[in-house]
Amino acid sequence: MSRKLQRTEVCADCSAPDPGWTSINRGVLICDECCSVHRSLGRHISIVKHLRHSGWPPALLQMVQTLASNGANSIWEHSLLDPAQVQSGRRKPNPQDKIHPTKSEFIRAKYQMLAFVHKLPCREDDGVTTKDLSKQLHSSVRTGSLETCLRLLSLGAQANFFHPEKGTTPLHVAAKAGQILQAELLVVYGADPGAPDINGRTPMDYARQAGHIELAERLVECQYELTDRLAFYLCGRRPDHKNGHYIIPQMADSLDLSELAKAAKKKLQALNNRLFEELAMDVYDEVDRRENDAVWLTTQNHSTLVTERSAVPFLPVNPEYSATRNQGRQKLARFNAREFATLIIDILSDAKRRQQGKGLSSPTDPLDLGIDDDQHDYDSVASDEDTDSELTTQNNNNTQRSNRAKSMDSSDFSDGPITLQEYLEVKRALASSEAKVQQLMKVNNNLSEELRRLQKEVRKGSTGGPTPFGSQHLSGSAEMGRYMVPKPERHCSGTDSDYDNSQIMRRSSEEEGHGDSEEGVGGDTVEPDPTLPCTEDVILKTEQVTKNIQELLRAAQEFQHDSFVPCSEKIHSAVTEMASLFPKRPALDAVHCSLRLLASSASRLQLECRKASPSEPGAPAVDYQLLTQQVIQCAYDIAKAAKQLVTITTREKKQ
């Protein structure tokens, strides 16, 4: 199906023309401004995807466009269609209205609070029960009326409903009828492609027996979507599912065979299946956030690309999860490309091991984890605003990813016992101060503006108070504060209802020395280093690095891929000049770690940019979306290291 939109399409939330994004689970098309609000709500509220620059399974794209063209938006704005609402002054925003608060408040009310959805009668004797709605859904999916099924789902019908008389789920019915778009909608709302009927047959079996081979193959893809997407994120390939269900990328520069890495991998293997599924689902969400970030950077006006209100620097809070899990999810944003790739490879490897039923190479001692979890050693979760306690949105999307994660554990593999020491290591403390994390996560003005402000302070001889980098963060070309990893305190949390993914995923960071660098940046225990260069010199070199990064991002934005190599060479040259200001063996570990990250990221950037121009005739076509994503990630890492060096130098010179 063609991805080209009709010119008559408008944003479902503000009526702006030619919307470029879609909310998959809401079945609506949205503009760039409204999309930024949707992203801040989280995937449990709205799953967003770009219509032209994101990868689409054809049937899923057709499902979304069918819903959008058949009035799905009226489901979410039901009460607004009442003339009385117009008389009361209640209206939807216009394209000219401000994003905040006008558009954002409307979008939150519309999708998070479901304020305009048709409400069922409150009394059970007058109303329709969830079971009745689910039975209607079970019957409706054999037809092509997608909007009817979406309306039932919006009212509370359950996508995984098991009909007691029929012995099937709605997905079995849709598969038998060959309704591929209905199957897509059900899966988006959490239907399990591998669910058995009363006789043990799956929806894939129903589709094959009815001769709907394309639908059967698509259902297999849906079952393995989680691991497929993780693999595609790293290597741009997906398994064909005829010769195997997993692709395990081999990335020599991302794999770490140190003792620390082996120990961390063992902890990952020791997680029981439920906790492993949770970790895999959260990494899936982080991949989605990073991929949308890459698309956002390539499609927006760079001068207004990222603001404090439009950026989504880490996964939004999901009220269905505990504070511990939400904090672990947010920490995923701090890992650079190398660290994140290493984690994904480990998850894919262990998912394959678990499905094949292979046990651990070295069994651990059994342990009854009878631990009191009344006390939790974590702070409040970083969030832009408090979650409304009256939130009624169904968490169907979490069910969807959980079902897909369970496909990794569909064998009879039993949860392996773990030792108390291993368990407590997996549950090690979260960061010492979430207040600091909130500050680090804030996105402010771009790096050039911050550097100019700091430069003015240096020139005026200002000595009082913290520098702008001490309490604010970067955006635009250098939005890297979100990846900084504070060194955790050694506390233990005694709950096994959540994992602490920060402990598992930190291994690359600790091996590189990143775990200790933050103490040098933010602590007060570091002695002044007289060998450090002049702050103003560091600022000038950093400005040059930033300028070159902005040039690279503009090239990505305008799809000028032939400019990648010269831009990367300019960045590498600027990085070399900046690094030459510092001693070869700096006294501060923080400086050493930052210089190491600066150099390695610049080298990796050059390698990635060279892929934009395949040298050999007949070489495979370049996946520019994936390439741009990797290039941007490297640019982030360079900006992070430069920011750390400016911060350290400024503080040291003021002591």
Among 28-42, 120-134, 397-411, the range with the most confident prediction by mean pLDDT is: 28-42
Place of tokens 């609070």: 113
Percent pLDDT > 70 in the chain is 66
pLDDT of 455 reads 53
pLDDT of 2 reads 42
pLDDT of 88 reads 57
Rounded to whole angstroms, the Cα distance separating 53 from 55 reads 7
Mean pLDDT, rounded, for 304-308: 48
Q: Are residues 350 and 276 in contact, defined by beta-carbon separation less than 8 angstroms?
A: yes
Rounded to whole angstroms, the Cα distance separating 212 from 291 reads 32
pLDDT of 68 reads 96
State the DSSP H helix or E strand holding residue 18, giving kind and residue range, or none if neither: none
CA atoms 206, 208, 210, 212: torsion sign: positive
State the DSSP H helix or E strand holding residue 87, giving kind and residue range, or none if neither: helix 83-87
Mean pLDDT value across the chain:
75
Q: Which residues of 123-144 are buried (b: 16+ CB within 10 A; e: fewer)?
A: eeeeebeeeebbbbbbebbeee
Rounded to whole angstroms, the Cα distance separating 651 from 655 reads 7
pLDDT of 646 reads 84
pLDDT of 485 reads 30
Among the listed ranges 95-99, 226-230, 539-543, which one has the minimum average pLDDT value? 539-543
SS3 at position 572: helix
Q: Are strands 48-50 and 21-23 parallel, antiparallel or unpaired?
A: antiparallel
Q: Is pLDDT of 432 > 80?
A: no
- Residue with the larger pLDDT of the pair 108 and 620: 108
**Exposed, middle or buried: residue 513 (CB in 10 Å: 0-12, 13-18, 19+)?**
middle
- Tens-digit pLDDT profile for residues 148-179: 999 999 999 999 999 999 999 999 999 999 99
pLDDT of 470 reads 26
Mean pLDDT, rounded, for 91-113: 93
* Full-model pTM: 0.63
Main-chain dihedrals φ then ψ at residue 182, nearest 5 degrees: -65, -40
Q: For residue 237, how many C-alpha atoms fall within 13 Å in the half-sphere facing its CB? A: 13
pLDDT of 645 reads 87
Q: Is pLDDT of 199 > 90?
A: yes
pLDDT of 195 reads 94
- Tens-digit pLDDT profile for residues 132-144: 999 999 999 999 9
